[in-house]
Amino acid sequence: MSNNNFITNNPFGINLNLPKKSIQEVQKVVKEEIGNISVNPFINYFEENDKVFSGEVADEIKKYQAQFYTLGQVMREGKAKSSFNMKM
Per residue in 3-55, pLDDT tens?
555 555 555 666 667 678 888 888 888 888 877 777 677 778 888 888 888 88
Domain assignment present for 5: no
Domain assignment present for 48: yes
How many folded domains does the chain comprise?
Answer: 1
Q: How far apart are CA 46 and CA 88, in angstroms?
A: 68
Q: Amino acid identity of 68?
A: F
Q: Where are the alpha helices (DSSP H) in 1-88?
A: 6-9, 20-36, 40-48, 50-54, 56-77
Boundaries of domain holding 67:
19-75
Domain assignment present for 59: yes
Domain assignment present for 30: yes
Domain assignment present for 3: no
Domain assignment present for 62: yes
Domain assignment present for 87: no
pLDDT(1) > 80: no
